[in-house]
């Protein structure tokens, strides 16, 4: 599948074993995409290899999701928010 640009690269996990990006496919337009070295499609393997080589820029750091915050932070946040709403 032909594509013109690959942008918004970001790690999908804190271990940095997977990443996602936005790909502008010629036939589909801009789509979220998760390339892989084992992708069954040639374009997926190509996008992965070129991304890892830095051709599309730096892959942004992973951002923790709320369910990944340490329990203490989550509990303190809930208590603080609750105190503010009373």
Rounded to two decimals, what is the model's pTM? Answer: 0.74
Give the model confidence (pLDDT) of 36-51 as tens digits: 999 999 999 999 999 9
Give the model confidence (pLDDT) of 23-39 as tens digits: 999 999 999 999 999 99
- Grade residue 64 by pLDDT with cuts at 50, 70 and 90: confident
Res 13 pLDDT > 60:
yes
- What is the DSSP code string of the chain? --EEEEEEEEESSTT-S-EEEEEEETTTEEEEE---TT-SSHHHHHHHHHHHTTTT-PPBPP---GGGS-HHHHHHHHHHHHHHH-
State the residue range of the domain holding 34: 3-85
**Total number of domains constituting the chain:** 1
User: Nearest-CA neighbor of 28 among 58, 5, 9?
Assistant: 5
Res 83 pLDDT > 60:
no
User: Contact at 8 Å (CB) between 12 and 20?
Assistant: yes
């Amino acid at each position: 599948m032909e594509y013109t640009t690959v942008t918004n690269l970001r790690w999908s996990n804190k271990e940095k074993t997977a990443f996602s990006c936005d790909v502008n496919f010629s036939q589909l337009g801009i789509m979220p995409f998760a390339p892989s070295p084992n992708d069954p499609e040639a374009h997926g393997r190509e996008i992965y290899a070129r991304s890892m080589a830095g051709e599309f820029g730096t892959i942004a750091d992973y951002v923790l999701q709320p369910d990944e915050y340490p329990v203490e932070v989550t509990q303190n946040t809930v208590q603080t928010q609750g105190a503010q709403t009373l």
